Amino acid sequence: MPVQHLQRSAPEAGTAREPLPRAPEPRSASPIAPETLRTDEPAAPGLRDLDRMMRATAAGLSGGRSPVSLFLAAIDWASHLALAPTLQQRLAVLAAERSVELFRYALTCAIEDAAEPAPCVSSLPQDRRFADPAWSRWPFNVIHQAFLMQEHWWEQATANVPGVTRHNAQAVSFMARQVLDLCAPSNFPATNPVVLRRTFESGGRNMRDGLAHLTEDIRRLVTHEPPVGAEAFKVGETVACTPGAVIFRNELIELIQYTPTTAAVHPEPILIVPAWIMKYYILDLSPDNSLVRYLVQRGHTVFMISWRNPQPEHRNLGMDDYLSLGIDAAIATVKEIVPGQPIHGVGYCLGGTLLAMAAAALGRRNDETLKTLTLLAAQTDFADAGELTLFIDESQVTFLEDMMWKKGLLEARQMAGAFQLLRSNDLIWSRLVRDYLLGERATISDLMAWSGDATRMPYRMHSEYLRRLFLNNDLAAGRYVVDGAPISISSIQVPMFVVGTEWDHIAPWQSVYKIHLQADVDITFALTSGGHNAGIVNPPGSLKRQFRVGYHPHETPYVSPENWRERNKPTPGSWWTAWAEWLKQNSSAPVAPPPLGLAHSGTLAPAPGSYVLDQ
């Protein structure tokens, strides 16, 4: 399809569209006569807007969370717990046993010259709050053991109440964890031995430095400046600096083509579709961490989509626009530059989900545009979509929709705040202790600087994404409609390389692994150490990283995630090397590089372009 037609096919930003789809409202069960009150008839526009304004105001005051959703979750849990006297008894017995155990531990610790007793409760491997040896000395050993016991008790109290819906149980557990993380003894100078030691040794200098750090951070927050140290990573100079050019631009994307560095390249180009929730250059960080540079140096012609950071006037851009103005337009441009060659499609996170949808639509038409498909931490089934589902239910999405309706978009800080809450220990409280109580500043990395460069979400697209993918799981169920007909992942007809990360709280690797149940093609699956971002940005050379990789022909029986993990032993190093070899095996012999840019328009600007700089 010509690029020009793709640009005309989507409505212009800001034009009116039909209202977003909503779940049908039930008829009233009230004895009032139908002619007096009809709840199945739409309210007058002004009254409907008043309702939405009320919900938008409430969502703004609650940080974007639906207070109704939280209240209902708490009521569901408390009501079922009240109707479970046996469980109440078990919890009371557990509390009593833990209290006696703690008393014995404290008594043993208080006896002079007594050997240090074994702890009653151990921290989780990823919890480093009490790792310093100072926490093993009296009275701080008793303090932190009491806290860990509280955590364990609340975990039992929130996770095992019969009758509570899974979503509500997770929500209550999440709320309890946030309160406990707030009240952890590591957060207060008087109960943190590491802070007390630093204060004594420095004569209070750490507190003075911490106050200076706090003042600086508040100033930067108010003036919308990046975090301290992020200035060292300037887009186009120290990050996103792989040479190339913008060769195509429309209202939604810039398409970057990277300059070849080898005399010959594989004829099949690579098109990378990043997530639009953040800037594209997570895949092109500093030169040593750049996946783009790694591919170019291995003889690939690489194209990258750079999504525009939406403004309020883009409120009506929807998922169909992200497909047509995004992926379809990029594919059409790549085919003009490299005619007659199939494309290696690569999608990261939400970009991978969108690319899988485009690949399914192509497969439905028996279109041979793609040669392979690579999905990086991308889900195609959202039934078990990780802890993000804590923020997604009917009430929550309704409040978010109304908050976005008021502004035309979802602010970047609101999305970033949700991600931080999912790992509050690592991303909030540990940082506050280090920066403000210990008076230290951690050296910021290119990945950390990128994470502070967030983007906004258009009202319509984000609403459709949350409802159709998360709430309704339409893609996995075969209900998602593209070009007037539903698509199915089983329509994809090219081999796939799929990557999951072990500690991913956004796209759990077991959820990513579900592609084996959906696709009827050969799948190479890799499981790498690290989280959602650090696991993907995993260049060769790190001695701390490892990965597992396994090949699953489409005609062989399904293997569960647990059995797959057991069968495929870890290999030290980066999954990049295994993927590079897989790409090489699925590519033809190298030829002369294609021209840089379109024949009729050349290049528009040097990489990284202008859209990535939008704030």
First to last CA, the chain: 32
Cis peptide before 162 (omega within 30 of 0): no
Q: Do residues 594 and 301 lie in contact, with contact meaning Cβ atoms separated by under 8 Å?
A: yes
Tell me which residue of 220, 188, 465 sits closest to 350, measured CA to CA.
Answer: 465
Element (H, E) at 554: none
Q: How far is CA 246 from CA 255, 299, 306, 605, in A?
A: 6, 20, 9, 5
Its sign, for the CA torsion 261, 264, 266, 270, is positive
Strands 523-528 and 496-501: parallel
Give the residue among 546, 579, 550, 500 at the shortest CA–CA distance from 294. Answer: 579
| CA-based nearest residue to 4, from 245, 248, 247, 306 | 248
As a whole number of angstroms, the distance between CA 151 and CA 431 comes to 21
For 95-230, strand residue ranges (E) read: none
CB atoms within 10 A of CB 86: 8
Closest CA to 303 of 265, 359, 277, 358: 265
CB crowding 115-143: b at 16 or more within 10 Å, else e: eeeeebbebeeebebbeeeebeeeebbbb
Cα angle value 51/53/58 (rounded, 5°): 100
Work out the angle at residue 296's Cα, subtended by the Cα atoms of residues 366 and 528, and round it to the nearest 5 degrees: 75
Residue with tokens 């459709």: 464
Selected catalytic residue, list 109, 120, 241, 349:
349
Q: What CA–CA distance (Å, rounded) separates 470 from 509?
A: 17
Please tell me the total number of residues recorded for the chain in this structure: 615
Question: How many degrees, rounded to 5, is the angle at CA 486 between CA 484 and CA 491?
Answer: 125
Contacts of 440 (CB under 8 A, 6+ apart): 206, 209, 434
CA dihedral (528, 533, 536, 538) positive or negative: negative
Note if 183 is an active site residue: no
Type and span of the H or E element at 264: none
Catalytic residue numbers?
A: 349
